[in-house]
Structure 1
Amino acid sequence: MHKIPEKTLYHSTYPDLRKHFWDQNPFIFRYVFLSFSDAWQLILAVGCACLFSYYFSHYSIPMDLPMVVSLVVLFIFILWIAGAYSIDISPIQELQRITLGILFFFLLIAFYFNLTVMKDERFLLFLISGWVFSVILIPFGREITRRIFSGSSLWNIPVVIFGYGPAGYEIADYLIQNSTSGLFPVIVVDRRMYDRNESPRVPLIRSADLLEHPEMVELFKAVPIAILVTGEINEEFVTMIQLEKRLRFRHLVIVSQANQIKSLWLRPYNIGEMLGYEIGQNLLGLWGKTVKRLGDLLILLLTLPVFIPVFLILCLLLKLESPRGIFRSRSIIGRNGKMIKIRLFRTSLVDRSDNLPDTDMETSARFSRQATSNPPENTPPSTRLGRFLLRSRLVTLPQWWNVAKGEMSLTGPGYLTVDSSILKEYHNLYKEVLPGINSLADCTGSQRLTAATRIHLDEYYIRNWSVWMDYYILFQSTVRTVLCKHAE
């Protein structure tokens, strides 16, 4: 038997993985944490609804401990049936299932109490307010729970990445930077025989060593999830995992580098005995654009009582801080290639946009308004209030006027400042829709996404748009605004 190679400077050919109970069963602890979060947020929402209904209608809801416990158990069961605790769903699907589960829960309560003890019309105010508070507090509670326990072995699920080319490196770097995803790479398998220039942050195994020493397969028994980058790993591993099943994982994610059209927005379509694929165009049709426009106007009307005071206070503070104007202007490309002017709050005493033209490289660097964690050298320093506006994204508040005029949308693809060549074949796709204040790329939590990745996220948004996707983007943007977690 060949001797297992020893660890080198950059590659770890035999990393020591902990095999404690909490490392092998992270799903259980995640279920427990999320269940406790949902339970406490439901109790808080019901309590707020009781106070709200008593304040406006002087109607007291009789609640005792057995009833509260029964409601909490019923609610957790409904969310479990709805699949809100599954790990193999996207954040958008999770938010959708939580919202529908909350709606079903309150409809069930309304039906039960209407048939039994409470037939007072004022009880309807309690139900509506309870539903509103729950829709806000329960997803927010989950987000706080993720941020509290992210980075802990009780929360993060071990992941092995097969392939360490550009895509594999970006995946590993993203998972390390964004611990709230709940996935943490513990092993990366690299097919190359030489070390990378960058020192990796995850133990690396040479694929050749793993193929020569089958006993090293024991390493992966403690890892429940594998990410297979097909174009960046040996074909033997694809066979071992997909066909021979010598490497078994509870969940297998395949990232294909074979074609340019990403499978994320391809839908299978049966044509007789042949299988075709339909490319999504959800936001390109009249129905999608109409629903989205009505949603923007509805949100603007509902948030007007909050928007106006905040806007006026910020204008006053900016006027007191800087002798220059309150706003700065910028021209961007809107629908059908029409140039539109947007305004942002001024964040520095000297505006970079006032004296430097937009360039193609600049568009690539700051795509979707989140360029990088390190600002360019020629960017003037922000004022104290300006840094707050950038981190809270309140700097974009004046753009709500563009939304009201129908020039922009609250959510959409990142806006463009020049006719950029980096878009290539995607340029016409951008011109079909309204640019958005908030984009899907802003919700990834990463400040280091490349321009190409942001373009793919924008294309994914356009082709797979749904009301739930907009709901998710607005929710994430609101959370980051409250926590001041946006990039500067």
Structure 2
Amino acid sequence: VVFLIIAVLAFLLRVSDIYSRMVFFIAWITSLAAAPLMRALTRKMFAFREWWGYPTLVFGTGETARRLVSTLQKQPELGFRVKAILDDRPADAASLYGVPVYQGLEKVPRITSECNISHLVIAKPEAPRQELVRLIEGPCSRCSHLFVVPDLHGISSLSIEAHDLCRVLTLEVRRSLLMPGPRVAKRLIDLGLAICIGVALLPFLILIAILLRLESPAPALYRQSRVGRSGRAFWIWKFRTMVPNADCVLKEHLSKNPELRFEWEQERKLRCDPRITTIGRFLRRTSLDELPQIWNVIKGEMSLVGPRPIVHEEMLKYGKDFTLYEQVLPGMTGLWQISGRNNMSYPERVALDSYYVRNWSPWFDIYVLGCTLKTVLDGYGAY
């Protein structure tokens, strides 16, 4: 908006010829990534200050409320500083995650006054409509900002808007990745970044290939069939990180170790994989083995950000979530990559992939790409 105003003023004041259009365009492109990055850094810098965040009261002590309070306590940069928890039923404990728990709606005026509460979250999705209306119009009306957690687990939570449709509260759920415009925009971003990254890293990729060939005579690259958009199979490319006879080594290793066989059947990965070479272990820890997938991105078989590309045997493990998976292109990185990588359970990875598809936006991709760099440098969850 700021750049649009500047452009209009420059045109009206007839000073557009004085300033470089190229500089203006580059500044606009840079701000698209710099603005959300600076906001995130600001939140990180001030998140643990006592004055940071809105004093918040959470109503409810059930499982949903517990998860909510836990998340808000772990991520103070979100801006909600939980001062108290309240419920109309007897509480199991006097505090929850270090936050005092109170019983009785009659305590709302005193708590909101003493703690200067401005934000209240009703985290009782199981409550009937009549009870929610009573809370909203009654004791909870003292707070200027009121949030209600509905019983709508599993739908989009970012791409959603509230409307008044014939005087009835209506929620509009958008699936941006199913719209032609956002799909074209995502493809253009993927193509532009993939070409730039590929050209910049080409000498480095050649060096890795030479080192792999020096370590063993097998090809530096290998391909594997994966499931793509619409359930179509495609060949995914990676740097070879295993010994040439990897399948035989795995089969022999699993036959001698029942515990490892169980780990393989559950996660399709081994924490201590005997097939990985010395250079391959380094490539996996730094995720450099996945750089050849830039070619898959250029070809339109993958995206820079998306669900984790799965093999055909994993389709059944996705269950009903596979319908979401096949609607988009799999990605080189994704929420699974920045949220724990291989340290996560399989159901957790599936849940993150589904969340990404439901809530995609260009800013979401920028966020994931930025966090991926930090995750790769940390090496957390890589093996």
- Asked if TM exceeds 0.5, the reply is yes
Change (3 A) 1:388 1:378: closer
Q: Secondary structure at the match of 2:122?
A: strand
Equivalence for 1:194: 92
Change (3 A) 1:148 1:461: same
Tell me by how many angstroms 1:333 deviates: 2.0
Tell me by how many angstroms 1:402 deviates: 1.6
2:18 is the counterpart of 1:124: no
Change (3 A) 1:342 1:138: same
2:267 is the counterpart of 1:362: yes
Q: Distance in 1 between the 2:372 and 2:155 partners?
A: 28
Q: 1:340-370, CA deviations, whole angstroms, 9 ceiling, x for partnerless residues?
A: 343445678999997268967427xx9xxxx
Change (3 A) 1:233 1:443: farther
**Of 309, 316, 329, the match for 1:434:** 329
Residue type of the partner of 2:78? S
Equivalence for 1:104: 4
**Of 153, 167, 180, the match for 2:64:** 167
Q: Secondary structure at the match of 2:125?
A: helix
Q: Distance in 2 between the 1:203 and 1:192 partners?
A: 16
Of residues 175-184 and 263-272 in structure 1, the stretch that sits farther from structure 2 once superposed is: 263-272
Q: Distance in 2 between the 1:286 and 1:226 partners?
A: 38
Q: Would the aligned equivalents of 2:226 and 2:233 in 1 still touch at CA under 8 Å?
A: yes
What is the percent sequence identity of the aligned residues? Answer: 27
Q: Distance in 2 between the 1:153 and 1:225 partners?
A: 17
Indicate the RMSD between aligned Cα atoms, in angstroms: 4.9
Q: Would the aligned equivalents of 1:326 and 1:345 in 2 still touch at CA under 8 Å?
A: yes
Equivalence for 1:115: 14
**Of 130, 137, 146, the match for 2:43:** 146
5 Å-filtered alignment, 1:289-328, equals 289-315=183-209
Q: Secondary structure at the match of 1:127?
A: helix
Q: Would the aligned equivalents of 1:391 and 1:481 in 2 still touch at CA under 8 Å?
A: no
Unaligned runs of 5+ in 1: 1-99, 367-375
Q: Distance in 2 between the 1:384 and 1:154 partners?
A: 50
Change (3 A) 1:452 1:192: farther
5 Å-filtered alignment, 1:134-283, equals 134-189=31-86, 191=89, 193-195=91-93, 200-206=96-102, 209-211=103-105, 217-218=111-112, 221-231=115-125, 238=132, 241-246=135-140, 248-257=142-151, 261=155, 279-283=173-177
Q: Distance in 1 between the 2:342 and 2:49 partners?
A: 22
Aligned pairs, number: 369
Equivalence for 1:474: 369
Q: 1:313-362, CA deviations, whole angstroms, 9 ceiling, x for partnerless residues?
A: 55556677899875676543212323334344567899999726896742
Tell me by how many angstroms 1:442 deviates: 5.1
Q: Would the aligned equivalents of 1:279 and 1:463 in 2 still touch at CA under 8 Å?
A: no
5 Å-filtered alignment, 1:45-84, equals none
Q: Secondary structure at the match of 1:410?
A: strand
Residue type of the partner of 2:297? V
Equivalence for 1:59: none
Equivalence for 2:304: 410
Of residues 345-354 and 310-319 in structure 1, the stretch that sits farther from structure 2 once superposed is: 345-354
TM-score norm. by structure 1 comes to 0.58
Higher relative contact order, chain-length normalized (CA < 8 Å, sep 6+)? 1
Tell me by how many angstroms 1:205 deviates: 0.9
Equivalence for 2:226: 332
Q: 1:344-403, CA deviations, whole angstroms, 9 ceiling, x for partnerless residues?
A: 45678999997268967427xx9xxxxxxxxx7656799998787667654432221221
Change (3 A) 1:275 1:265: same
Tell me by how many angstroms 1:130 deviates: 3.6
Of residues 296-305 and 268-277 in structure 1, the stretch that sits farther from structure 2 once superposed is: 268-277
Change (3 A) 1:169 1:438: farther
Q: Distance in 2 between the 1:245 and 1:457 partners?
A: 36
Q: Distance in 1 between the 2:91 and 2:206 partners?
A: 61
Q: 1:113-147, CA deviations, whole angstroms, 9 ceiling, x for partnerless residues?
A: x735x8457x3343334444444544433333333
Change (3 A) 1:395 1:189: farther
Q: Distance in 1 between the 2:335 and 2:195 partners?
A: 23
Residue type of the partner of 1:428? T
Residue type of the partner of 2:234? I
Tell me by how many angstroms 1:427 deviates: 1.7
Residue type of the partner of 1:257? D
